[in-house]
Chain A
């Protein structure tokens, strides 16, 4: 009996410590990468700037068709149905702001980023590490934190915020438009009501949440990419870990922010 209790507490303790170590490693890793970037005399030198812009194009702009499609579907499924279901305009606006803008928008943008960009970054960096390209960069005196890591983390962060804004606007706009066209033209009034219902503190939470999501997605992807060592089999293993850990991290951050908002 004592052994069983010991096993359970031992396992849970070890699991907790592993997770805590992982979090400390991750925060240290991303802090060092960003510190090296911000310590530069010129933040946007030619190569860091090129990496950052490429990352934003790949993560943000190239993802727009997928995000547009998902936003239109979500607009129809959620926004349109909520407007149709609830009578009170004030309640509907509050629910839409909290559910679509604060929850669904950042979460779907985050999941799209994890599956498209996070996995791509891990595979890219993993292969670079495997083929000794990272070592070659360091032997040329190139700081990989400034050249590879910080632009990717910042690129993903900016993209997360941008596509989340885009997703939220399309989802809400499409739902209201559909309600106005299919149910009653009075529902077009929701356009102005939604804008006036968007308080500063909600906007602040929206921005903070998206910045945190982006930072962690980028950092986790880079961290696992650089953990690839010598074997090609480590690339898919680390990619899978990066995806799972990123999704878990989104829910944890979301939960913490939800608790803080109460």
Chain B
């Protein structure tokens, strides 16, 4: 039971539009990668945020780290967030803090270790992710490159040693070598830390073989598959059309 980090029972996201999504039930286990794929980014982010508890549910029950999200008050919700990290497309760094202060802030705030230890852990993570130009860590995010800011967001998310990491289209703006490097880095965290990753992606070729759950979402279809083979066997026309677009056979 402790290995189940997310337990979703017949959940579907509430939406501002008239769209009604088919419900989904799944368990997300420790050390797993769950990919949310599909033709529309709106549906993918909606499902990602619903599984994270950030988006309201139209129906169903969601248990995050053994806690039912409907029963959490504000303080309990905030308390849960230091075990769950989320990096969205528009996740921001604090503009008034240096890159290093940004990285250390959540761990210091939650008093996970003393300052020196957190700084050492940040250094290790920055080396592992391949952060170049460490002298920039004393600068504000506005003076760093987009890639440096990007890596800082990932390291800041991991410095608290989360059990769950939610990523919204992480690989989209990266070159292929950076994608491979980041993929390897995150794979290592899944294996070594027991981290579970839930991600949306357009770059499905890069992730589909790694995934332990694949959720296909579109306005009319919500389907769960355990691996690439299961997905390829699907008779659903919209899934077939989507896969052929990416030349996945």
Contact = CB atoms under 8 A, between A and B. Distances in A.
Interface in B68-82: 75, 78-82
B91 A138 contact: no
A140 B111 CA distance: 13
Interface in A90-133: 124, 127-128, 131-133
A141 B78 contact: yes
B167 interface: no
Contact of B108 (A47, A132, A135, A143): A47
B91 A136 contact: yes
Contacts of A45: 111
A247 B92 CA distance: 33
Nearest to B52: A139
Interface in A45-77: 45-47
A137 interface: yes
B80 A141 contact: yes
B110 A141 contact: yes
B92 A142 contact: no
B20 interface: no
A251 to B, nearest CB: 33
A131 B75 CA distance: 24
Q: SS class of chain A's interface: helix, strand, loop or mixed?
A: helix
A243 B93 CA distance: 28
Nearest to A127: B95
Nearest to A54: B96
Contacts of A127: 95
Contacts of A142: 78, 105-106, 109
Contacts of B95: 127-128, 131, 133
B160 interface: yes
A139 B108 contact: no
B220 interface: no
Contacts of B54: 139
Given A47-B108, A147-B109, A139 B81 contact: yes
Contacts of B78: 138, 141-143
A128 B81 CA distance: 20
B64 to A, nearest CB: 13
A49 B94 CA distance: 18
17 contacts: A47-B105, A127-B95, A132-B90, A132-B91, A133-B92, A136-B92, A136-B93, A139-B81, A140-B85, A140-B105, A140-B106, A140-B109, A140-B160, A141-B80, A141-B81, A142-B78, A142-B106
Interface of A: 45-47, 124, 127-128, 131-133, 135-143, 147
Interface of B: 54, 75, 78-82, 85-86, 90-96, 105-106, 108-111, 156, 160
Given A47-B109, A131-B95, A135-B91, 20 more contacts: A127-B95, A131-B92, A132-B90, A133-B94, A133-B95, A136-B91, A136-B92, A138-B78, A138-B81, A139-B85, A140-B81, A140-B85, A140-B106, A140-B156, A140-B160, A141-B80, A141-B81, A141-B106, A141-B110, A143-B75
